[in-house]
Amino acid sequence: MTTAKTRTSIPTAGRVHRFSYAIRNIVAEAQRVEAAGTRVRYLNIGDPVAFGFHTPAHLVDAAERALRDGHNGYGPSAGIAPEREAVAADCTAKGFPVPADRVFITAGTSEGIELTLSAVVDSGGEVLVPMPTYPLYTAVLAKLDARAKYYRLDPARGWMPDLDHLKSLVTPATRALVVIDPNNPTGAVYPVPVRRALLAFADEHNLLVLADEVYGELGFDGAVEPYGRLDPDAPIISFSSLSKAYLAPGWRTGWMAIGRSPRLDDVVSAVKKLADGRLCSTVPMQYAVMAALQGDRSHQIAFREALRARATLTIDRLTAIPGMSCVAPTAAFYAMPRVALPPGRTDEDYVLSLLRSTGVLCVYGSGFGLPPADGFLRIVFLAPLEELREIYDRMARFTADYLS
Ligand SMILES: Cc1ncc(COP(=O)(O)O)c(C=O)c1O
């Protein structure tokens, strides 16, 4: 037997230092606050199940049946055929015609995004990413040694993309445009002319469009149409999952639908090759995809109404706080208020001070790519109304002290 004598740490890769995911990173500080005896309200992560919303029973039944029926072996790397067909039929019914052989079942939207960026972006390549962004994009690009080029979303215009700024960022190294619509972290939905302008811009520069449509069913006024409907022949990949609108984020089950354009044939092959390398996504949960897309969706009506009520309360209460402003969201469960910070202070300072003195945990805007001095933070408003009222009372008292 040999006994190790060396005490030097095993070195880690440089890419880890470039990888950041603020939504989870701040939890370490929250746990310290909790250990010191303060109750923490976790408004940092968009998980409806954590706030008492239930996964629909027919989805649970489908996954349970699959487990009991012995569907516990590896599956095809692209996903089980009937479930791919269900996604293709759903996209086609929404006006984005996609053949089933261009659908991949993935471990959530997240894995589809990672497979796609890995398939199309070389080291040194550039991808246009909104600012603020959902941080997965920048995290994956850091792993690929590629660059996120941030295009501004403008809070003064309801968080719409700044198209002039976007156009100024294109270089010969640009490979793709990321569009998150409905948006996390802003809750905005882009009107059709803005969507058309984004597609025209991507077409002009031969860019792949990653349409992150994971909140597509959660517009307060009903489901939002997919980008592919506007131009089924554009090079669009649509991403979604069971996580948000089907209330099963822990199942890590989602899909990507690659548009029918022959310009995407090589991307289909490249994604297939990479998907083969991870064998398959979790098989029993795939059986719930068809149940979700072809079964009863009435839970979404109740969920949307619950979200609208929480959004209204959130905006009413936050905009009443002196020094705070907020654009009203029209989808999903996020709001992005802004605090008029005193000179020298940062969004992280405000968020950590709020956490330490009230136990309310939000994510600072710079975790989504915004300048730290701009004073933005993201709130997940999934908690029950009564709890939100109490949370906003605490925020109002804290902010008055902080700004005085
Ligand atoms: C915009 C956006 N994209 C992707 C994801 C990842 O979702 P999934 O659970 O489907 O991987 C999230 C989760 O919060 C998100 O907000």
Is the predicted pLDDT of residue 23 greater than 80, yes or no? no
How is 143-161 classified by DSSP, letter by letter? Answer: HTT-EEEEEEEEGGGTTEE
Helix (H) or strand (E) run with residue 116 in it: helix 108-120
Cα of 241 vs centre of ligand 1, distance in Å, is 8
Mean pLDDT along residues 354-366? 96
Judge whether 326 and 315 are in contact, CB under 8 Å. Answer: yes
What Å distances lie between residue 4 and 7, 8, 203, CA to CA?
Answer: 8, 11, 58
Q: What is the tens place of the pLDDT at every residue in 78-123?
A: 999 999 999 999 999 999 999 999 999 999 999 999 999 999 999 9
Q: Which atom of ligand 1 is nearest to the CA of 185?
A: 16
Q: What is the tens place of the pLDDT at every residue in 325-343?
A: 999 999 999 999 999 999 9
Measured in degrees and rounded to the nearest 5, phi and psi for residue 34 equal -65, -45
Cα of 351 vs centre of ligand 1, distance in Å, is 22
Mean pLDDT along residues 18-36? 84
Q: Would the CB of 249 count as within 6 Å of ligand 1? A: yes
Mean pLDDT along residues 218-230? 97
What percent of the chain has a predicted confidence (pLDDT) above 90? 93
Judge whether 252 and 282 are in contact, CB under 8 Å. Answer: yes
Give the angle subtended at the CA of 35 by the CAs of 31 and 41, to the nearest 5°. Answer: 55
Cα of 110 vs centre of ligand 1, distance in Å, is 6
**304 residue type, one letter:** R
Q: Would the CB of 254 count as within 6 Å of ligand 1? A: yes
Peptide bond into 329 cis (omega under 30): no
Q: Would the CB of 241 count as within 6 Å of ligand 1? A: yes
Q: Would the CB of 245 count as within 6 Å of ligand 1? A: no
Q: Which residues share a beta bridge with 361?
A: 42
Question: How far is the first Cα of the chain from the last one, in angstroms, to the nearest whole number?
Answer: 66
Contacts of 180 (CB under 8 A, 6+ apart): 130, 133, 134, 212
Cα of 10 vs centre of ligand 1, distance in Å, is 32
Confidence class for position 17, pLDDT limits 50, 70, 90: confident
Mean pLDDT along residues 27-52? 94
Judge whether 166 and 128 are in contact, CB under 8 Å. Answer: yes
Mutate to test the pocket of ligand 1, among 45, 116, 184 (most ligand atoms within 8 A of CB): 184
Measured in degrees and rounded to the nearest 5, phi and psi for residue 41 equal -100, 110
Is the predicted pLDDT of residue 181 greater than 90, yes or no? yes
Confidence class for position 1, pLDDT limits 50, 70, 90: low
Q: Which of 34, 136, 102 is nearest to 367 (CA)?
A: 136
For atom 13 of ligand 1, the residue with the nearest CA is 46
Q: What does pTM read for this prediction? A: 0.96
CA pair distance 161, 198, nearest whole angstrom: 9
Cβ-based neighbour number of residue 393 at 10 Å: 12
Q: Which atom of ligand 1 is nearest to the CA of 183?
A: 1
Q: Which residue has the tokens 């592919």?
A: 228
Give the angle subtended at the CA of 219 by the CAs of 215 and 286, to the nearest 5°. Answer: 35
Q: Which residues share a beta bridge with 152?
A: 131
Q: Would the CB of 105 count as within 6 Å of ligand 1? A: no
Is the predicted pLDDT of residue 20 greater than 80, yes or no? no
Is the predicted pLDDT of residue 24 greater than 80, yes or no? no
Judge whether 84 and 76 are in contact, CB under 8 Å. Answer: no
3-class DSSP assignment, residue 221: coil
Cα of 169 vs centre of ligand 1, distance in Å, is 25
Mean pLDDT along residues 283-298? 97
Q: What is the tens place of the pLDDT at every residue in 164-179?
A: 999 999 999 999 999 9
Mean pLDDT along residues 67-86? 98
Cα of 172 vs centre of ligand 1, distance in Å, is 29
Mutate to test the pocket of ligand 1, among 44, 45, 49, 109 (most ligand atoms within 8 A of CB): 109
Q: Would the CB of 180 count as within 6 Å of ligand 1? A: yes
For atom 1 of ligand 1, the residue with the nearest CA is 184
Q: What is the tens place of the pLDDT at every residue in 115-137?
A: 999 999 999 999 999 999 999 99
Q: Would the CB of 332 count as within 6 Å of ligand 1? A: no
Contacts of 240 (CB under 8 A, 6+ apart): 109, 213, 214, 216, 254, 255
Q: Would the CB of 243 count as within 6 Å of ligand 1? A: yes
Q: Would the CB of 83 count as within 6 Å of ligand 1? A: no
Of 153 and 23, which is predicted with more confidence?
153
Cα of 214 vs centre of ligand 1, distance in Å, is 6
What Å distances lie between residue 118 and 137, 181, 234, 402, 403, CA to CA?
Answer: 11, 22, 20, 44, 44
Mean pLDDT along residues 195-199? 98
Is the predicted pLDDT of residue 40 greater than 70, yes or no? yes
Q: Which of 79, 69, 36, 61 is nearest to 256 (CA)?
A: 79
Average pLDDT, the chain: 96
Judge whether 280 and 104 are in contact, CB under 8 Å. Answer: no
CA pair distance 239, 109, nearest whole angstrom: 6
CA pair distance 213, 1, nearest whole angstrom: 55
Of 45 and 233, which is predicted with more confidence?
233
Is the predicted pLDDT of residue 25 greater than 80, yes or no? no
How is 326-344 classified by DSSP, letter by letter? Answer: -PPP-BTTEE--EE-PPTT
